[in-house]
Amino acid sequence: MEIQELVILIATGAIAGWLASLIVRKGGFNIFGNIIIGVIGAYIGTALFQTLGIRFANPHLGLLAMSTIGAIILLILMGFLMKFMTKK
């Protein structure tokens, strides 16, 4: 991975994580939390969109969309997991 790709992934991860936390209303994470949520979301979103055969004309906007949707899915799953683990 080149440095330019890494910078794009981190920046997209930060934006996607922040957008996902706003949409899911889980309260904002710090910048590092947003990056982690966004990067993991990018992998989830990319796998989902590739499985469904969906492609974007603009790769950068597509990455942001896939990352945000993947991060939303991740935050929802984390919420369910937290409810399940705290329920006794």
Q: 20-69: per-residue pLDDT in tens?
A: 988 987 666 788 888 899 899 989 998 999 999 999 999 889 989 999 99
- Rg, Å, the chain Cα set: 13
DSSP string, 5-70: HHHHHHHHHHHHHHHHHHHHT-----HHHHHHHHHHHHHHHHHHHHHHT---SSHHHHHHHHHHHH
Which whole number is the average pLDDT over 60-85?
90
78's enclosing H/E stretch is helix 59-86
pLDDT confidence of residue 9: 84
pLDDT confidence of residue 30: 81
Number of structural domains (the chain) is 1
User: Is residue 88 over pLDDT 70?
Assistant: no
Q: Which domain holds residue 26?
A: 3-86
